[in-house]
Amino acid sequence: MHDIRTIRENPAAFDAALSRRGAEPLSSRLLEMDEARRAAIHAAETAQAEQNRASKEVGAAKGRGDDAEFERLRALVSDKKAEVAAMMARAKDLDEALTALLLEIPNLPLDEVPEGRDEADNVEIRRWGTPASFDFTPKEHYQLEGVTRGMDFETAAKLSGARFVVLSGATARIHRALAQFMLDTHTEENGLTETWTPVLVREEMMLGTGQLPKFGEDSYQTRDGWWLVPTAEVTLTNIVSGLTVDEDSLPRRYVAHTQCFRSEAGSAGRDTAGMLRQHQFEKVEMVSITHPDASRAELDRMTGCAEGILQKLGLPYRTVVLCTGDMGFGARRTHDIEVWLPGQNCYREISSVSLCGAFQARRMNARFKPGAGGKPEYVHSLNGSGLAVGRCLIAVLENGQQADGSVLLPEALSPWLGGKTRLTAEGALI
């Protein structure tokens, strides 16, 4: 969420940053609402002061026996009380309207973010690995002989409908091994704290990280009012909601492996084949809570953590900086990592690492106490996939496929697969 005081100080800069994201200028509307709110508060405070003075004079008039003055002052107190209540109610309504509008406005991009309209304007910053050459036409993951027995979309459709999958046997084990490999790498080598969190959260938690109110249709809500998390970003970031932490406790770096749930409301008809885009999937999510001065460097660090997973698995990828028109709602700068999928003959997103600055912290009221003293300041938050487990499974299967329908698995996974390194065409691990 944005600070109305910052908008007051430089409305032109606020509008210019919004325009880079393709959004309409809003400072005039916001400042008009803010002025009306502040005027209502001032009127209420003035009426309250007049009411207090009249209340003091009521007793004095009664003590003097001045009945006419007593009645006049008593009527004035009553009128002022009603006026105060009306002005406070108006101020509250205006404050809620202003807050509601501020909650709908996306974060402002850093000046360094490339300007553009959509993914065509994203800027590649590096590549790693060389896509393998096949002496046969590579297949997509769900077409591989060794996978078809362990990746059942028909049964999943019977159980839950479209965009679900049932994994079994060796395929399910590889999927599990990937998540364990990611968690162990992030905790043992990258210094993240493994965390286990709920997948059902209160509405204010979704509001704090920006999934609500604007994107409610993209998530699932239960009859009891809980929301199913679209990613562990919601729970991990909200660990510090409402807190004022010590500066020396920063950075806080978390990682969690969770089920994630998305309605995919805005993606009808896209990526319906296979398990690339599902309503229920698993992710290993990274979240960092940092000092404002350290957040930009932390973005690069987190990107490196995610890239390191792909390097260990030997999966070719490219990293791009999202342009202003393609960034997510809460981001100031985002790095997307796209893994090579030979079955599709293209790179596809497998991780998105974003710097949110104080945008989420202001919504959550998450601050730190400076070690040198002074007023508490908002922390900065970052989040990123480390990685999407299902998409990593797809990449491992497609990049390791052989002409006979078997799959060579990355050596890095063998400790989590009991030393096994191949998925046979019959669907067995050897």
Interval 387-397: pLDDT, tens = 999 999 999 99
Which of the four CATH numbers 2.40.30.10, 3.30.300.180, 3.20.20.10, 3.30.930.10 does domain 119-423 have? 3.30.930.10
How confident is the model at residue 75, as a pLDDT?
80
Active-site residue list = 262, 277, 349, 352, 391
Distance (Å, rounded) from C-alpha 229 to C-alpha 258? 9
**Residue ranges of the binding site for ATP:** 262-264, 349-352
End-to-end CA distance of the chain: 52
Strands of the sheet with 220-221, listed across from one edge: 200-201, 227-228, 220-221
How confident is the model at residue 267, as a pLDDT?
60
Q: With residue 338 as reference, give the H or E element that holds it.
A: strand 333-341
How confident is the model at residue 146, as a pLDDT?
95
pLDDT under 70: residue ranges of the chain: 59, 63, 66-67, 265-270
**Residue ranges of the binding site:** 231-233, 262-264, 285, 349-352, 383, 385
pTM (predicted TM-score): 0.93
How confident is the model at residue 269, as a pLDDT?
59
List of residues 6+ apart from 108 with CB closer than 8 A:
2, 14, 17, 18, 21, 332
Assess whether the region 4-103 and the region 119-423 belong to the same CATH fold. Answer: no
Please name the CATH architecture into which domain 4-103 falls. Orthogonal Bundle (1.10)
CB atoms closer than 10 angstroms to residue 118: 11
Concatenated DSSP letters of 30-51: HHHHHHHHHHHHHHHHHHHHHH
Domain limits of the chain?
Answer: 4-103, 119-423
